[in-house]
Amino acid sequence: NRRVVLAARPHGLPRLTDFRIEELPVPAPQDGQILLRTEWLSLDPYMRNLMEEVGPGYAEPVALGAPMVGGTVSRVIASRHARFHEGDLVLANAGWQDYALSSGEDLLALGDMAQPSLALGGLGMTGFTAYVGLLDIGQVQAGETVVVAAVTGAVGAVVGQIAKLKGARVVGIAGGADKCRHAVEVLGFDACLDHREPLLAERLAAACPTGIDVYFESVGGAVFEAVLPLLRLGARVPVCGFIAHYNEDALPPGPNRLPQLMASLLQRRIRMQGFIILDHYATRFEAFRRDMAEWVASGRVQLHEARAAGLENAPQAFIDMLQGRNLGKQVVSVADS
């Protein structure tokens, strides 16, 4: 039973030495408990935030020496719980480890799924984030221009595809020519701009001649700065994340841009709203499941995954994802059967 623990709190981009792999005996379930074996582990940017002490209103940080947390698709290996049986496949929070015990409270039975790992991505947390963020917070309307950051990623690719099927014009932003080609040719977006190339603000203005109605924010930094002058009167900005800053240890130098932001929000009546997807499961998950199942079955939404193999490779895959080496939802195959 291997597990990946947090060995040190990172400074900047996490390094392999911030993680440690430990070997422990497989635990035995007590009455009411279930023994799970991880088949798929989800790797998500929020895990970077949990590696350090973050402020209130967010999840608890991982303690030094404790296993990294994370969503998993797990198999029930042994059960002393009435509702779960050996062989069941469940959505769990087993973290970065081969085996885990659960009381059953946080488990969701998955039944038969053709591709169970999608329960961690487009059919699960990240797809749901795209759905709530774009539809409930972004309030997208047909004919509007939607700009999507990290557009080939787990959340962004689904945001862009839902925006298209609602009749919007979608301009994506991604890192590198290959991702931009994928965004236009495979995902069907109207344009995609490489944020690593110079003159992003000028290129974005040219790609959005009537301005931006909805900006789906996952990145912050230079991308947000290029977007801000183009936001139209009454624009909506669902704030999903700001990954460009997750590895920063200090405030960036230079003049304070906060007054410019406040003036823009006020004068153009821009609505910017942060959201944490955990708040929306009770009210919106069933609608999401129904709609997304239909969109995926009809081919209107495609779900792409980046797969790493083996728990021991989870730290490197995580570091790679934070730097944009993933195309689509990053998962790790931990056990095949």
Shortest distance, position 215 Cβ to ligand NDP, whole Å: 13
Alpha-carbon torsion, ordered 135, 240, 196, 323, to 10 deg: -130
Name the pairing type of β-strands 231-239 and 108-109: unpaired
- The one among 5, 91, 120, 154 contacting ligand NDP by CB under 6 A: 154
Cα three-residue angle 188-212-217, rounded to 5 degrees:
75
What are the distances in angstroms from CA 66 to CA 20, 93, 118, 320?
10, 14, 27, 22
- The one among 175, 228, 296, 314 contacting ligand NDP by CB under 6 A: 175
- The one among 14, 67, 138, 153 contacting ligand NDP by CB under 6 A: 153
Measured N-to-C along each axis, helices 154-165 and 281-297 cross at an angle, to the nearest 10 degrees, of 70
- Does 138 sit near ligand NDP (CB under 6 A)? no
- Does 47 sit near ligand NDP (CB under 6 A)? no
Shortest distance, position 45 Cβ to ligand NDP, whole Å: 4
- Does 161 sit near ligand NDP (CB under 6 A)? no
Closer residue to ligand NDP (CB): 85 or 257: 257
> Hey, which residues between 83 and 122 contact ligand NDP (CB under 6 A)?
none
Shortest distance, position 104 Cβ to ligand NDP, whole Å: 24
x/- track of binding to ligand NDP for residues 293-322 (CB under 6 A): ----------------------------x-
What are the distances in angstroms from CA 235 to CA 147, 209, 312?
11, 15, 44
- Does 171 sit near ligand NDP (CB under 6 A)? no
- Does 326 sit near ligand NDP (CB under 6 A)? yes
- Those residues with Cβ within 8 angstroms of residue 96's Cβ, 6 or more apart along the chain or in another chain: 3, 4, 41, 67, 68, 69, 70, 311, 314
* Helices (H), ranges, the chain: 46-50, 125-131, 154-165, 177-181, 200-207, 221-227, 258-267, 281-297, 314-322
- Does 177 sit near ligand NDP (CB under 6 A)? no
Residues near ligand NDP (CB under 6 A) are 44-46, 126, 129, 150, 152-156, 174-175, 179, 195, 218-219, 221, 223, 240-241, 243-244, 275-277, 321, 324, 326, 330
